Amino acid sequence: MPKITVDGREIEVAADTMLLPALIEAGIHVPHYCWHPKLSIDGSCRMCQVEVEGSPKLVIACNTPVRDGMVVRTDTPRVANARRGVMELLLVNHPIDCPICDKAGECLLQDYSYSFGTRFTRTEEPRRKLEKRKEIGPRMILDQERCILCRRCVRFCREITKTNELGVFNMGDRSVLDVLPDAPLANDYSMNTADICPVGALETKDFHHKLRVWFLKKTPSICPSCSNGCNITIQHYRNQIWRLMPRRNDAVNDTWMCDHGRLQYAFAHDTNRLRLPMVRRGEQLVASTWEDAVAEASRILRDGVKRSGPERVALLASPHLTNEELFRLAQLADVLQLRHVDTPVVVGQGDDFLIQPEKAANIAGARELGLVPRNGGRDAAGILELARQGSLDVLYVCGSDIARIFDEAVWKAALRAVPQLIVQDLFLEPIAALATVALPSLSWAEKTGTFTNRKRRVQQIHRALAPVEGQWSDGEIFTRMLAHLSEGRWEFEPAAVFEEITRKYPAYTGLSFAGLGLQGKTLAGAEV
Ligand code: FES
């Protein structure tokens, strides 16, 4: 590995790399706008200039390869003067409308202005007037006055999505970022351009003027929308999610996520969520205590198996549950000796980048942990058919994916024909309203645990929103049912249950909940 000296300190850096990423990797901050770790080098902003011994001029660190023995200075008056000059140039026409800019608080122009700029302007001429709040796509707004022409967004559309919607038009001081009139920025990843915009030129409609970013709390998690398991940060304030942002994981999603996944979060704080357990009394579903509702559901399952055998009892698990919850649910199926077990998943469109056809984050985990037909048992379609024929006495449905997978006539006829229906879901409609016992579920944002993605990478999610006081998590529900239906002490604590999984499944051997860290770990034997 080459050794270089930076500001008098010798460091080892990776070979065949440019100076800027090497310095960043070594924890040495060099300001930069146009460079991005996942895009080609543009070298246009000139903010990353440093002194290199033997070079008569300052060089841009983002486009200077490291050499063994290189002597670099990032802290000289000459470098400071160059940064001040760049900042002055970038701010000559900038509107400085930070009080109404969504980026304020996380804007590199603002931050570098404080750190490296001057506190005054030397120009009196009016600033350039361009389009503000221009709708350039279904989810994106452009403010041309704020753009510093770093072209990160242009390269994103050229190199990552290969859709080429954005471009810099005109020349010199008339240069302007824009889209062609008949080609809006409408690709499935368009909102990433707002993330990589170092200023507030590109903003998402979804977050526009909603909240100042410094109020947001950030919780690392996984996108729940498909089986890719993109790493994200849930950004929340006052128990409400305000935005989902991608989190870097080079093994899963680099630094990107799709627009669809990014926009699927409002259900978590929907005020129509089912929050109280309900038990059917005649025609009516009436609110119940958690203890009574779970005892009633357990009694229905036990009596169903006792009366007519496990053949007439079936379980549909949810691919939105965590591995720890699914492990307990699989134990419940074991205790009841169920054969008709399955985890139905919505299948939709995918692409050759991040979007996967299976629209749930933990379908791989459900399969890994045995929530599949057992000993010749029926799959989801077969279970609904058994129900419709009157061959099931009890059906336990977790989640409402069947309402999106099967025709309404099919699932309704099946559920109506089952004498005892237990439903665990986020909402009363469409399925829990038909239940004998309805148990509220928690969303992914309200719990801690793990998901396994399509490449069998196990990744942590963390609680961002506090559930309603007293609400049991899905794992607690399954655990209490197990306590009703079997001997022994059952508890639900995600890290301890994960430990149980590692003892039971050889592929998990050597993993620990804490050891998964923020980037996750791939199961033994997985194709990477
Ligand atoms: Fe090096 Fe822009 S980051 S020139």
State pLDDT tens for residues 58-97: 999 999 999 999 999 999 999 999 999 999 999 999 999 9
State pLDDT tens for residues 219-237: 999 999 999 999 999 999 9
Return d(Cα 243, Cα 211) in angstroms, integer. 10
Beta bridge partners of 231: 222
Tell me the CA–centroid distance for residue 68 and ligand 1, in Å: 22
Ligand 1 atom with minimal separation from the 61 CA? 1
Return d(Cα 77, Cα 81) in angstroms, integer. 6
Element (H, E) at 388: helix 380-388
Angle made by CA atoms 266, 291, 283, in degrees to the nearest 5: 75
Please report, rounded to a whole number, the percentage of residues in the chain having pLDDT higher than 90.
Answer: 95
pLDDT for the residue numbered 120: 87
Helices (H) then strands (E): counts for the chain: 14, 23
Return d(Cα 319, Cα 444) in angstroms, integer. 11
Distance of CA 323 to the CA centre of its chain: 17
Tell me the CA–centroid distance for residue 259 and ligand 1, in Å: 28
Question: CB of 215 within 8 A of CB of 179?
Answer: no
pLDDT for the residue numbered 528: 53
Tell me the CA–centroid distance for residue 232 and ligand 1, in Å: 27
In the block, which residue shows the tokens 């050889």? Answer: 506
What are 422's two structure tokens?
């237990």
Q: Where are the alpha helices (DSSP H) in 167-265?
A: 192-196, 259-263
pLDDT for the residue numbered 359: 98
Q: Which of 35, 52, 86, 148 to probe ligand 1 with, by most ligand atoms within 8 A of CB?
A: 35
What is the strand order of the sheet 49-52 is part of?
9-12, 3-6, 71-73, 49-52, 59-60
Ligand 1 atom with minimal separation from the 60 CA? 1
- Mean pLDDT of all residues in the chain? 96
Task: Give, in order, the Cα–Cα distances in Å from 214 to each of 205, 217, 392.
Answer: 19, 8, 54
Residues of the chain with pLDDT under 70: 526-528
Ligand 1 atom with minimal separation from the 34 CA? 2
Q: Which of 18, 23, 24, 32 to probe ligand 1 with, by most ligand atoms within 8 A of CB?
A: 32
pLDDT for the residue numbered 376: 92
Q: Which of 68, 51, 69 is nearest to 60 (CA)?
A: 51
Phi, psi of 74 (to 5 degrees): -110, 0
Alpha-carbon dihedral sign for residues 315, 269, 232, 517: negative
Radius of gyration over every alpha carbon of the chain, rounded to an integer in angstroms = 28
Ligand 1 atom with minimal separation from the 48 CA? 1
Give the pocket of ligand 1 (CB within 6 Å).
Answer: 32-35, 43-48, 60, 62
Return d(Cα 243, Cα 55) in angstroms, integer. 45
Q: Which of 319, 332, 341, 318 is nearest to 392 (CA)?
A: 341
Task: Give, in order, the Cα–Cα distances in Å from 157 to each of 146, 186, 286, 298, 436.
Answer: 19, 11, 53, 54, 51
**pTM: predicted TM-score of the whole model, two decimal places:** 0.95
Tell me the CA–centroid distance for residue 144 and ligand 1, in Å: 20
Q: Which of 40, 62, 83 to probe ligand 1 with, by most ligand atoms within 8 A of CB?
A: 62
Tell me the CA–centroid distance for residue 64 and ligand 1, in Å: 10
Q: Which of 24, 29, 44 to probe ligand 1 with, by most ligand atoms within 8 A of CB?
A: 44
pLDDT for the residue numbered 294: 98
